[in-house]
Structure 1
Amino acid sequence: MPSTSATLWIVATPIGNLEDFSPRASRTLAQVDVIAAEDTRYSGRLTRHLGIDTPMISLHEHNEQARIEQVIDRLAAGESVALISDAGTPLISDPGYALVRAVREAGFAVQAVPGPCAAIAALSVAGLPSDRFVFEGFLPSKAGARRARLEALADETRTLLVYESSHRIEKSVTDIAAVMGAGRAVGLCRELSKLHEQSVVMAASELAVWLAADDNRRRGEFVLVIEGAPPIERADADIPLDALLAELLSLTGTKQAAKAAARLTGRPTNEIYARALALGE
């Protein structure tokens, strides 16, 4: 391993099974001057298990801004710092982005010790297209905002990766079926690398029924791998816009009709929406 002086190390930690902890990650945590951990109590159990006694400070979503200056001061003094999250790769739906940006702007080195990441692990076992994908993190917790976000993603042709918690998983899958289509394929990966690991892939409507059938299926931490929307070929340029809009408006609402017409023609959505409103008057 290169010298750890004045370097911020981004260290991935196990998402479940401690056997996933790499020797390099263990050596890094033992050699740095301080570990910045999302939860020092949780991470303290990990370091004690590994026999590591490196001092630890907290760095989480509520104190990240306050910690940045402290970390940079340590780096300026020639110390090294390791950033770890509760599980997996830091910054992936976890704190750290603001710190990494500030450290780079201050001129110090940032290096990664790669390892487990729940999103990538789920993608690798779902059997859905993996050549192009989008990571969405957690969907909004409130129903209206969640459905609005899903509507914005409904036409995304790349595979979608979403994190979800146990108390919202059933509602989120139900919303996916309602907004993206009952037949949209969804992979559900639960408790990855842990004792009760489970993964299934089925149509969104079937997955909602599957979840409701057994309380145990709604326990733990989840990654959803959502099939991308099929690409739509653009309409023939000779088709008049008004005729296209009239046909779409007969099938759906103004907003959705305008959005579909924009995709089919390649023209600006705002322009087409205004025309759709005019046709509806």
Structure 2
Amino acid sequence: MQKQNIQSNINTIQSNRLLHNRGIENNARFFLVSTPIGNLGDLSFRAKMILQECDLILCEDTRVSAKLLSTYGITTPTECLHQHNETHRIHHVLNLLHQGKKIALISDAGTPLVSDPGYQLTHAVIKENIKITAIPGANAALMALTLSGLPPHPYLFIGFPPPKSTARQNSFAILKAVENIGLTPTYIWHEAPHRLVDMLKDLKEVFGENREAAVARELTKKFEEIQRGNLKSLLDQFSQISPKGEMIVLLAPPSSEKNNHDMIDLDANLIEALKTMSIKDAAQVVSTALHLPKKIVYKRALELQKI
């Protein structure tokens, strides 16, 4: 018994020293705390200590967070802060912070604010000059990137694509058009499982069936899986099953040869169209044919007219 008490005291001293060395005692009052994306064992030691010591934990869904908190014996009071009530909760939270309360913000999984609520509140906290810090941890997008086999940098995290096909294709077309002026990252999206096949169809329509891609699902969980291939093979595969779980979709950058070819193809089509059409009509026809935004094609047509 005495040996256990001694070890407990040693652990307490080590914990306090670790917190001090890692800058926890920096007078911060608002904490953005990253939580596991699936495996509850991924909660960091520092995150656990902060959640225990705070006066209040703001949760995207208190019912979801309850499982994590109970696993670690964290009894700090919780309140909801989600996309439907965030604006109305800001004044209340700022008042608590001004009273000296320490408040943590967590989402259902992963890093707060990344495709989750909390930006409006965080922005308000910063404007009030309230000390803020973040406790880093799990992030599904970056984990998927490292496992995808695709170029890790530069990368562009976009969040969820539009849910409707027309809007989704338009958003993809803008990215494809920007590639023509040199932006060539690996793209990363979140997507709901019931929309995965439709998203892959739209990616294939805009970027071509041979573009390399990857789909990650259920990261850190029992059925974690990464599927890699071109858009055609991935579409064929997921069209035959019912995708389940949290999805991350990644798209490789174009090869330099393909990117140069696309730019030449755009210019060639515009030059030919401008022989018989106005700039406006030529931009309309070419943008439709190449799945590119009309504004960008129109701007390029104006540039070609000056050459």
TM-score class, shorter-chain normalisation, is 0.7 to 0.9
- Name the structure 1 match of 2:270: 245
Question: Matches of 1:242 and 1:6 in 2, distance apart?
Answer: 55
When the two structures are superposed, what TM-score results if normalisation uses the length of structure 2?
0.79
Question: Matches of 2:303 and 2:142 in 1, distance apart?
Answer: 42
Three-state SS of the structure 2 residue aligned to 1:91 is coil
Question: Runs of 5+ in structure 2 lacking a partner?
Answer: 1-18, 276-283
- Name the structure 1 match of 2:244: 219
Is 1:167 aligned with 2:194? Answer: yes
Three-state SS of the structure 2 residue aligned to 1:168 is helix
Paired residue type of 1:160: Y
Change (3 A) 1:244 1:140: closer
**How many residue pairs align between the two structures?**
265
Question: Matches of 1:49 and 1:247 in 2, distance apart?
Answer: 66
Deviation at 1:179, TM superposition (A): 1.1
Is 1:137 aligned with 2:159? Answer: yes
- How big is the alpha-carbon RMSD for the aligned residues of Structure 1 and Structure 2? 3.0
After superposition, the C-alpha distances for 1:150-174 in whole angstroms (9 at most, x for unaligned) are 1111244110000001110111011
- Name the structure 2 match of 1:98: 120
- Name the structure 2 match of 1:42: 64
- Name the structure 1 match of 2:237: 210
Partners of 1:10 and 1:83 within 8 A in 2: yes
Greater Rg by CA: 2
* Aligned counterpart in structure 1 of residue 111 of structure 2, from 56, 71, 89: 89
More off after superposition, 220-229 vs 2-11: 2-11
Paired residue type of 1:131: H
Within-5 A mapping of 1:1-281? 1=19, 2-3=24-25, 7-155=29-177, 156=179, 157-215=184-242, 218-231=243-256, 232-233=259-260, 245-247=270-272, 253-255=285-287, 269-273=297-301
Question: Matches of 2:298 and 2:247 in 1, distance apart?
Answer: 37
Structure (1 or 2) with the greater helix fraction: 2
Partners of 2:270 and 2:301 within 8 A in 1: no
Three-state SS of the structure 2 residue aligned to 1:167 is helix
Three-state SS of the structure 2 residue aligned to 1:35 is strand
Change (3 A) 1:243 1:65: closer
After superposition, the C-alpha distances for 1:87-117 in whole angstroms (9 at most, x for unaligned) are 0001110011111110010010110100000
Deviation at 1:257, TM superposition (A): 7.8
Paired residue type of 1:136: I
Partners of 1:254 and 1:276 within 8 A in 2: no
Question: Matches of 1:161 and 1:243 in 2, distance apart?
Answer: 31
Question: Matches of 1:225 and 1:243 in 2, distance apart?
Answer: 30
Question: Matches of 2:130 and 2:203 in 1, distance apart?
Answer: 43
Change (3 A) 1:206 1:73: same
Partners of 1:245 and 1:257 within 8 A in 2: no
Partners of 2:48 and 2:72 within 8 A in 1: yes
Partners of 2:27 and 2:131 within 8 A in 1: no
After superposition, the C-alpha distances for 1:42-93 in whole angstroms (9 at most, x for unaligned) are 1012111110110001000001111111111111000110000000001110
Change (3 A) 1:133 1:60: same
Question: Matches of 2:31 and 2:150 in 1, distance apart?
Answer: 33
Three-state SS of the structure 2 residue aligned to 1:9 is strand
Change (3 A) 1:273 1:71: same
Q: Percent identity?
A: 37
Question: Matches of 2:37 and 2:144 in 1, distance apart?
Answer: 12
